[in-house]
Amino acid sequence: MKPGFATLFLFLLLLQGIYASGSDRWQQHVSYTMDIDFDVETHRFTGKQKLVYTNNSPDTLYHVFYHLFFNAFQPGSMMDVRSSQPATMDLQIGTRISALGPDEIGYLHISRLECNGRKVEFKEEGTILEVSLKQPILPGSMVTFEMDFNGQVPMQIRRSGRFNEEGIDYSMSQWYPKMCEYDYQGWHADPYIGREFYGVWGAYDVTIRIDHRYIVGATGHLQDPESIGYGYGGIEIPVNKVGKTVWRFTADNIHDFVWAADPDYTHTTHLCADGTRLHFFYVETPENKQPWEQLPKIMEEALDIINARYGKYPYGEYSFIQGGDGGMEYPMATLITGNRPLVSLVGVSVHELLHSWFQMMMGTNELLHAWMDEGFTTYASSETMDELVRRKFIPGEPSDFPSESSYQGYFALAKSGREEPLSTHADHLNMSALYPLSAYNKGAVFLQQLEYVIGPSAWEKGMLAYFNEWKFKHPNPNDFIRVMEKASGLELDWYKEYFVYTSKTIDYGIREASPDGSGTKITLERIGQMPMPIDLVVTDEKGNKEVYNIPLRIMRGEKQPETKRKKDWHVAEDWPWTNPVYELHIPLRFEQIQRIEIDPSLRMADINRENNSYPKPGS
């Protein structure tokens, strides 16, 4: 390569780097150093936190905000009030917060806060610390906050707390003062009410001093493992030790930090062929011993499947930790309940591991776009579990439609009459009970149905491109759909607008079919308000199938069929979305037709399938 050309090439690469994701996508940066002294008698802790904060925004910041999540677990908190009302009750919380006594509540208080060595004013407002800065943080500058804080671990209510229902002593998630995210939409100082998270990526260096009898599982890489009896077979605490053990974990490019501690943890590790080390922390019982012993090999296979489809896991280590309630994702670790039969244990482990992609690396604002996190994870979990069945790593029958249950959930939502658009802020839904049907199920349908719209090859290419272009950048719905537009060459804004910002539904029908010269005329109708491209499958008397793909005109093109379908694939005239009726003429004689069906793949979320076939069912 000639030098001149090389320089030009480098320049173009640089330009591409700068403009690839838009100039508004700067990232704030955090670097935490924390030292925690934990008392297992009182369930309280004191901590020191040094936070180096870099303002990469073009804005001057006069305030900053921290999350104080533990303050949610107090009678009268916003979380308590919200969950005490029937429509917005979180069944896992109920009214239990109202009943907490002074020694059972959670709290997190700040006793000292300085910025660049000068005291600053701060005020606790429930789960948010409001900080007024004497000297603003200028664009492109870096400041250092130093604070002292103290907390009490609440009884296990939701996600974090002490003594969960399986007897794990400490599930320490959302436990430290955490800087709120500031992005192109401004501050995100959302109070902790029930739904999930959004955070700033950066480096964490966390030291935990805790009674020597405890074993700690956490986010990050354990430092000086030998000093606390860590071996690659797992951790065994020396019996003759006294006082506290000092555990130090570090990690980079993460936006949260979780840990859990129990004196009875069994800790095992598994080194995957790709070099990733998996950790497992659980309290062994006669019932859970076998599932947890089978889990490591299965999770290595799951990781292989996920890496190939959604991009490579970059952190080197991951911990599956028994704790919390149900399952909750954190960077490099998850807290899951662990007394489960094998398939359930694998299911929750796969789901939470997948959040390493759709949350820890993509970091979408979960409060605003929960469906991009839970929906994408749900879709990918169903696919991964099905692949594990196919590879005989878990028992079961392979499915040709792994996301079917997500469609059932979405249909229940659509027919409930209470559906709110996916774009509704997760804490502000009218009915909390509908959140899973919306974020998890309709979110999964969004992704699976998009594959129907653009075709499988463009979809697969798009999903990998999404990961590669948007990891560590907080993508929003528009960013995602633009990637898919580029991968498919199709216009897809309409798909996002209808399915995310409205609760309009899809219903297409076959009105009639009749002889038309030597061929057949098929009349289709759009009954629902959301337009979609149609795959119409015509089966002749011998069972041969032909597919007529009817693109929407606003797509400005059509999808590529699967390779195996190419020879029986016909692209029909576009359907302008305004038109309620569409006529299709096909050369097959009317008498030769055995059956006509709209989307037999069932990937299009048609809420009424009764009218999707001809002859009508039962006729």
Strand order in the sheet with 259-262: 161-162, 170-172, 259-262, 215-218
* Footprint on residues 538-567 left by Zn ion (CB under 5 A): none
For residue 355, the minimal CB distance to Zn ion (Å) is 6
Alpha-carbon separation of residue 590 from 259, 514, 516, 517, 610 (angstroms): 67, 6, 8, 9, 22
Closer residue to Zn ion (CB): 80 or 374: 374
Minimum distance of Zn ion from residue 351's CB (angstroms): 6
CB of 476 to Zn ion, least distance (A): 19
Quickly list DSSP for 330-392: ETTEEEE-----HHHHHHHHHHHHHTIIIIIIT---TTT-HIIIIIHHHHHHHHHHHHHHHTT
Shortest reach from residue 364's CB to Zn ion, in Å = 12
When the beta carbons of 181 and 329 are compared against Zn ion, the nearer one is 329
x/- track of binding to Zn ion for residues 73-112 (CB under 5 A): ----------------------------------------
Between 374 and 387, whose beta carbon lies closer to Zn ion? 374
Q: How many CB atoms lie within 10 A of CB 561?
A: 19
Largest Cα–Cα separation, the chain:
94
CB of 274 to Zn ion, least distance (A): 24
Q: How far is the CB of 267 from Zn ion (least distance, A)?
A: 25
What Rg, from alpha-carbon coordinates, does the chain have? Answer: 27
Of residues 146 through 165, those in contact with Zn ion by CB under 5 A are none
Question: Which residues have a Cβ under 8 Å from the Cβ of 485 and sit 6 or more positions away?
Answer: 491, 492, 493
> 362-421: which residues touch Zn ion (CB under 5 A)?
374, 377
Minimum CB distance to Zn ion smaller for 190 or for 374: 374
The Cα–Cα gap between 284 and 305 comes to 28
**What residues between 442 and 501 interact with Zn ion by CB under 5 A?**
none
Angle subtended by helix axes 376-390 and 404-415, to nearest 10: 150
In the bound complex, what is the minimum distance in angstroms from residue 352's beta carbon to Zn ion?
7
Instruction: Measure the CA–CA gap between 237 and 228, rounded to whole angstroms.
Output: 7
- d(CA 265, CA 214) in angstroms, rounded, equals 8
**Which letter does DSSP use for residue 23 in this model?**
T
Nearer to Zn ion, 354 or 534 (CB): 354
Q: Using an 8 Å Cβ cutoff, are 83 and 169 in contact?
A: no
Least Å distance, CB 14 to Zn ion, is 37
Shortest CA distance to 72 belongs to which of 100, 50, 91, 45?
Answer: 100
**For Zn ion, the closer CB: 199 or 551:** 199
Q: Are 381 and 447 in contact (CB under 8 A)?
A: no
- Considering the complex, state which of residue 377 and residue 382 has its C-beta at the smaller distance from Zn ion: 377
CB of 34 to Zn ion, least distance (A): 26
Could you tell me the smallest distance in angstroms from the CB atom of residue 444 to Zn ion?
11
Residue whose CB is less far from Zn ion, 45 or 197:
197
The three-class DSSP label of residue 276 is coil
Please state the closest distance from residue 175 (CB atom) to Zn ion, in A.
Answer: 20
Q: How many residues sit in the footprint of Zn ion (CB under 5 A)? A: 2
Q: Is residue 584 within 8 Å of residue 521, measured between CB atoms?
A: yes
CB of 195 or CB of 603, closer to Zn ion? 195
Nearer to Zn ion, 183 or 374 (CB): 374
CA gap 462, 310 in Å, rounded: 10
Residues 321-360, mask of contacts with Zn ion (x by CB under 5 A): ----------------------------------------
Q: What angle do CA 230, 245, 258 make, to 5 degrees?
A: 80
Instruction: Please say which residue, 268 or 378, places its beta carbon nearer to Zn ion.
Output: 378
Kindly list the residues in this chain that would bind Zn ion in the complex (CB under 5 A).
Answer: 374, 377
